[in-house]
A and B are shown apart, each in its own frame.
Chain A
Amino acid sequence: MKKTVLSGNEAIARGAFEAGVKVAAAYPGTPSTEILENLVSYQGIDASWSPNEKVALEVGIGASFGGVRTLVTMKHVGVNVAADPLFTLSYTGVRGGLVLVTADDPELHSSQNEQDNRNYAKFAKVPMFEPADSQEALEFTRLAFAVSEQFDTPVMLRTTTRISHSKSVVTLGEPLTGLPEPSLSRNPAKLVMLPGNARPLHHTVEKRITDLEEWSSRQPWTRVEEYGGKIGVITAGISYQYAREVMPDADILKLGMVYPLPKAAIRAFAANYETLYVLEELDPFIEEQVRAMGINVQGKDIFPLCGELTPGRVHDALTGEHAPLAHSVDEPLPNRPPNMCPGCPHRGVFYALNRLKAYVTGDIGCYTLGFMPPLSAMDTCVCMGASIGMATGISKVLTEEDRAKVVAVIGDSTFLHTGINGLMDMVYNRSTATVIILDNSITAMTGRQDNPGSGFNLAGDGTYQVNIEALCAAVGVKHIQVIDPYHLEQTKDVIQAEMHRPEVSVIITRRPCMLVKRDNLESKPPLFVDSDKCTACRACLKIGCPAIEWNPEAGTKGQAQVNELLCVGCKVCMELCKFDAFGVVDDE
């Protein structure tokens, strides 16, 4: 069989292909995004971006009810959005196997919280697999489809960033053939969840979990590994790797299915050890259930509850000390925070909001970086789509003067995800806040995925493009303006005027993401700073462009310089300079 190196996400896509998946749906979200981006390249699979995770799961449910195997993927917080269909899908069960991937992000590498979605498996009463490397990501994806159909249940597959974005060697399998053909099949007692139908299904769900719990103890993914016989560790997922790395002599009960737990296997394993650990990231999910079985274990009393585990953190928790390091850095170093790209169309908008001293309810996207200095123009960020509802809420309680300062900002993809509902409420309940839709025609932060507003689908084919201004007009917004955020003065003037309007207004700042190459945008020559004209006023530094660098050694008081390798020639800085010090390189 062919060996290759795959990330966890690539392996899940491969596993889904091998399992005979026909339909896949998702909303992009780090660290889950690459699963569908890879899956779309396999022949015969309908893979698509949905406007949000709830729609993605509903598309998946429909395809499953039509009789095909279906994959739905999202990041951990995406499951919050998809929770509504998930909890009732647990009752209906499936027709074609349905697997929901939740990609969790311990350590919040690129997220707003680090919730532990193993709790969803228990809450929704659905089985959950957790792979420990890319090989298992592939195999467990295949297995999850088989279990889904065998037990008539959706199955969750949980990864974490270190599984999704780590690569390891994988042996590929052969794709399954001979799966049932899709068809219409009416079964209202199973698929129409009214109280009379759902009540008996609750009993089915409870029995299913008991059956799975008993069955899972006897499956090969519930595995005892013996290395020394003195210490026992119960673990799963990435934590298994850290147990092997840091405690090479400990015996291990490696779990593949983390819900329901294989209680018989756990009881049998635990009986052999006086010292028994549960090693897991985030919540004491396994630990609490093991303790509830009357088994005494060590877990979160020594291992950290917050953040991801690392070999070092596990070692320190076990030994109570930090191993001395051979090398050190003894001086404070400047941080290197992420920043909007040179030429990013969002930059000028946040500069204007900063100058206008707006109170900005923010949202999730590249533009959340508008929070960072020197732009420093974001006051809240909670979840996808929240900015508009929050602007409505805070406007309700403020004085007229303060109310005029409230501005909601939201990206095009986030607006179409869940922002539109907030806008309906804003108009319906006669709020007065201002909404800025930062329309760069792409879902940028996750790596530039298409969305219903971009005019292209996941496969890269042209499709219908949502008309955002018409959509806003349709929900009742009377004041809608579309502006180019590269025009700094106009941007500031329009925002200022709309902030003072005692009615809902929407400003669409429209310019494509700098990283989208589709439009064959002419590349523009970089700028330079004329050292005879630069007076060291530092006005240009206030937009935080990565291409403008302060050189403290230049001139008598220091001077700004343009890094020609980074500058894309957007000229926003030119508008800031009162001394006409910026020039275009080609014009010299």
Chain B
Amino acid sequence: MLSQAFPRLASRASALPRLSQVRFSSSSTQAQTPFLASRTAVFASTAATVGLTAWYAHLYGISFLPEASANTAAEDGLHPAAYPWPHKGIFETFDHASIRRGYQVYREVCSACHSLDRIAWRNLVGVSHNVDEVKAMAEEIEYTDGPNDEGEMFQRPGKLADYMPAPYPNEEAARAGNGGGLPPDLSLIVKARHGGADYIYSLLTGYVDPPPGVHVAEGMNYNPYFPGGGIAMARVLFDGLVEYDDKTPATSSQMAKDVVTFLNWAAEPEHDQRKKLGLQAAIILSSLFAISIYVKRFKWAPIKNRKIFYNPPKEAH
């Protein structure tokens, strides 16, 4: 009957059986296999299960097999607590007053041993200091420049485009000055350590006497947060070590918080702008997504709601 009424349609439908099924799916009345019972769903869920199991095993080991580890918990280092940083959270900027204090701690304490290669003086402008302050700070440092017209290198005061001066000219000098230990560059240290800001804060404030039975090598210091426990850096932050110009009490935990905030800024100078743009992009993209869903439903409503009737021609007697 169908082939009588629509001969072309019927021939196409028989030539492409699957396509015709799809084409008329919205108007067919016969019971369809539910999606969850389909072969696609079985394949997809199997693949997801295998993938998740493999991922879990890769991260944490196979959970139902006993595991041998050469490390004790102490050798992995104590896990830091999660601290309520002012910049923790997707809508939170850095506390810039804290960055300013942290720069002071870095300059007066950390910079004796640690370099900060990737931060230039100009990066501080509009973040923690105004331009005149930064110019004055840069001019206090002598930089080697040149060659001049005679081919000589010469010394000149620093300017905004210069990078932070390093305490040692090379790695060997840094090791020689610190009993063989190399003080790492601090530009990206917050990104470069597991636990990030929490870890560095815990490390700076976590120096304690070694527990009984723990032997710390000559020239090393005990810190439970440092993997292995023995760290070449001694405790440096003591109460009242620096004097803040905004009259904040310079306790060792306050200095550690400020310098970690500063180092977090140094590792992620784009942080504030990134979070703000992320907020704006999330608003715009989710609005566009909602609009696209609405338009799709609007356009498809007549197609989804139609019902095709076929009235067979009256048989001629």
The answer to whether A and B come from one shared complex is: no
